[in-house]
Amino acid sequence: MIAKAIFVGILAAVCFAVLYFALSAPKAATPNPLGALVADTINGRSVYLAAGCGGCHSAPQSSQVDNLILSGGQHFETPFGRFYAPNISMSVKNGIGRWSFADFERAVRQGVSPDGAHYFPVFPYTAYQHMRGQDIVDLWGYWQSFPVADIKNQAHDLPLFLGFRRNIGLWKRMFMMQDWAISGDLNPDEQRGRYLAEALGHCGECHTPRNAFGGLKRAQWLAGTKNPVGKGHIPNITPASLDWSVEEISEYLSSGFTPEFDTVGGHMVLVVENLAQLNPQDRNAIAQYLKAVPAVGVPQ
């Protein structure tokens, strides 16, 4: 009887292990059909600005002039530990200089490294998964012009039980939603704004509350939340709180000035610096999208 119980226990453990490794495995790399597309580096620059890559991966305290020196090093405090942005310059030794386009596309849209490991979702691939193929190609083409920065990466400071990347595969299955947060009957400008805000700008990553596992509470999309990296509160930017007109939102994204003659602050300074370099139609599209988002009032 005891032998039978031991056998059943071992069998259950084996079945659990097989299921765990199957469910947590990264998606297998597949032949990439995007390689035949020709890169438009002018559009690649716009994609880079909208996606805010330099805001996280440039060196700490760097200026807008140094926004293309993606040496990493900035740290981000979260409820799960301290994360350090890696070097993603074209350095062969410390950056991504050895990557192929397929490696880049897989990392950006799937959150998987060239050696098949999951990236932590502090890298907003849950948003970037919606990026259009041509934009990925254009961004990679623009990336080739970036300077090399031979600065070593710094390891994340995480609790031991959170440092096992294989668990991220399970997290992705639960929280990496493939549909848009806002669907329905959107006009072309609102659809463009959704693409810029949800995919490239990944606004929801900061402005949407998260559950205990770090997944976005999509029912409270853009409804604001506590600032995970400092004091204060990240504001609700749904129409329940943001009552600015389309023109006022667009102006704020261009100049950083609010209708009350206040100025942008915090991390949004970098966001506005980037968005100000896009064309006015794109800023207007983001504004139209924000007006189309359902109003969500969340007690502060």
Comparing 4 with 178, the larger pLDDT belongs to 178
Residue 7 has pLDDT above 70, yes or no: no
Closest C-alpha to 292, from 239, 240, 214:
239
Q: Where are the beta strands (DSSP E) in the chain?
A: 75-78, 81-84, 225-226, 233-234
- As a residue count, the chain comes to 300
Q: What is the 3-state secondary structure (H, E, C) of 240-284?
A: CCCCCCHHHHHHHHHHCECCCCCECCCCHHHHHHHHCCCCHHHHH
Tell me the sheet residues that pair with 75.
Answer: 84
In whole angstroms, what is the distance from residue 278 CA to residue 236 CA? 24
pLDDT in tens, 126-160: 999 999 999 999 999 999 999 999 999 999 999 88
pLDDT in tens, 11-42: 677 776 777 667 777 887 777 778 788 999 99
Per-residue pLDDT band for 114 (boundaries 50, 70, 90) equals very high
Question: Which pLDDT does position 282 carry in this prediction?
Answer: 98
Question: Which pLDDT does position 126 carry in this prediction?
Answer: 97
Q: Where are the beta strands (DSSP E) in 133-224?
A: none
Structure letter (DSSP) for residue 118: B
Residue 234 has pLDDT above 60, yes or no: yes
Instruction: List b or e across 187-203, with b for residues whose CB sees 16 or more CB atoms inside 10 angstroms.
Output: eebbbbbbbbbbbbbbb
Structure letter (DSSP) for residue 160: G
What angle do helix axes 246-255 and 280-292 make, rounded to 10 degrees? Answer: 130
Question: Which pLDDT does position 115 carry in this prediction?
Answer: 94
Closest C-alpha to 271, from 45, 55, 44:
55
Structure letter (DSSP) for residue 61: T
- Rounded to two decimals, what is the model's pTM? 0.92
Mean pLDDT of 65-72: 79
